[in-house]
Amino acid sequence: MKSIPFFLAAVVGMTASLLAEYSAPQPVQATPGILNEYLRAQAASLSAWDFGVNVRLRYEDKEEAGTTKAGSNWDFSARPQDDNDNRYELLRVMPHLGYTSSEVTVYVEGRTSYSYSDQRYNASAAGAGLSERDGPIDLYQAYVVLGNAKKFPLTAKIGRQEIALADQRLVGPAKWGNTPRTFDAAKLRWQSPQVAVDAFTSSPVYVDNNNANHSNPQDIFSGVYVSLPKLCAKETVETYLLGRNTARGIVTDNWTGVSSPNRFPAPQDIYTLGFRAKSNPKAYGPWDYAIDGMYQFGDRTAVFPSTAVAAALAAPRLEQQAYAYIAQAGYSWTKAWGSPRASLVFSHASGDKNPTDGKSETFQNLFPSNHLVYGVMDLNGLENINDFKITYTVKPTRAWVLSLEGHEYWLDRTTDYWYKNDVPRNFTGSAVGSGAGYRINPSYGRKLGEEVDLLGGYSTNKYTTIEAGVAHYFRGAYIKESLRKVGSLDANYVYVQVTLNL
């Protein structure tokens, strides 16, 4: 692990042509899974049914930013008493059963999730501090789809389900995690060649280890998402309005089994108005682009998972005035060996310039799949951040994917926190500007650092995919200054993952 930065430097030097987004390789031969293949071979009538199990096993090795039971407040710390290394295994098993007719689809999916040798374990913390453990088995999805869009443009999807919008920067299931996200929701979809409209209301489902997972009626997430593929000749234009309304009384509910960062959310009434434009496939030849703009308004409280209940109840409402935008461009060499693609992405999310003025200018990241877009080490998200990302992906065959990715991060404002998973790094035992821990430190540099990721995946057969990655985080001025009295170190990360489609 200690040699990772030197290895990555060598890789960067050798792969100047390997400079976009990584996604797992597809099997050379498509398959519905072993169980479906067998059953459908026995009787043609079983083709309407879907039986299967997805099994995923991953090993992770984190150095200097392992998010152990002390949380993320001591990531990068060189203090002898800070054990911020973590090596563990994750297992996730998701069996499902589905049935589809001409007018109705029914789908039920379970999930069991375990972590082993995980130093995030803290017997005195809510949920034992293990956000990626949820046993013995729980209901992940259970929904019915009514209607057939080929016959009539309106369909309804009702029940526990995943919700994914656009590229999942604001709303997604976060499938990289061992306990991905679902919602108890009702969604209507109108789809025609000119317009697609999704309207939904939902409650996020909270992971409660060893208990039945449930949503909370005091936490409502709703929205309307409109896609206009024919509005422009070469672009698809999308616009949306999302609202999260969380009652103050939610903090007094029983959250003892729900670990951070998934514990009670901040009481809020926040609305996100967004616009997105993306180029249609091949509209500009080998070039492609997308732009996103988001504005938030409403009000919220500065409440986080570690906030005491009494403080959460007394927290004042802050007027929300925040924004974010993303600009990305890519180029694909479709006729070159490996069909390489390079991309540049710049992401910006506003931070709060004055924590005492009764306003909140910190953009709220809602329910994202951050792992897909902000680095495989999962140390940053779309809050008080600037992220400049360059990626290059090559696919030597359908079964192989290789990707090299680099990020440069800096805070939007040092008058706000550095956030991870909506939770601020904040060590209240150190004074502001003391160099003894993360706080709101206005006099420090904004640079958080750089992350370099090398990722690869191979589909060994139509049922099995193997993936691996190695990453290094070069700490910047903000980290060094925040920990200057205790010392700091760069962070490393390695993972190996096997996925089975049974």
Phi, psi of 46 (to 5 degrees): -80, 0
The half-sphere exposure of 397 on its side-chain side, counting CA atoms within 13 A, is 9
Cα maximum dimension of the chain: 71
pLDDT tens for the chain, 502 residues long, are 655 544 444 443 433 333 357 888 877 777 888 999 989 998 888 899 999 999 999 999 999 998 776 678 889 999 888 888 999 999 999 999 999 999 999 999 999 999 999 888 777 777 777 888 888 999 999 999 999 988 999 999 999 999 999 889 999 999 999 999 999 999 999 999 999 999 999 999 999 988 899 999 999 999 999 999 888 989 999 999 999 999 999 988 888 888 877 778 889 999 999 999 999 999 999 999 999 999 999 999 988 877 888 888 899 999 999 999 999 999 999 889 999 999 999 999 999 999 899 999 999 999 999 998 999 999 999 999 999 999 999 999 889 999 999 999 999 999 999 998 788 998 888 889 899 999 999 999 999 999 999 999 999 999 999 999 999 999 999 999 999 999 999 999 999 999 999 9
Range of the domain at 56: 4-501
DSSP 217-264: TTEEEEEEEEEETTSSSSEEEEEEEEEEEE-GGGGGS--TT--TTSSP
Overall domain count for the chain: 1
Q: How far apart are CA 86 and CA 70, in angstroms?
A: 12
Q: How far apart are CA 149 and CA 103, in angstroms?
A: 9
Q: What is the CATH number of the domain that holds 41?
A: 2.40.160.100
Per the structure block, which two tokens stand in for 164?
A: 């994914």
